[in-house]
Amino acid sequence: MPYVRFATLGGGTLSTDELRGKVVLVNFWATWCTSCIKEMPKMAQTYRKYAPRGYEMVAVAVQSDSPKQVSEFVQRRALPFKVALDTTGEAARTFGDVRATPVSVLLDREGRIVKRWVGEPDWAELHADLEKLLQVL
Do residues 83 and 47 lie in contact, with contact meaning Cβ atoms separated by under 8 Å? no
What's the mean pLDDT in 45-51? 97
Task: Map out the domains of the chain as residue ranges.
Answer: 5-135
User: Is pLDDT above 70 for 100?
Assistant: yes
Distance in angstroms (rounded) separating the CA atoms of residues 79 and 81: 6
Among 124, 122, 5, 19, which Cα is nearest to 60's? 5
Domain 5-135 has CATH 3.40.30.10: yes
Residue 109's pLDDT band (cuts 50, 70, 90) = very high
What is the pTM assigned to this prediction? Answer: 0.94
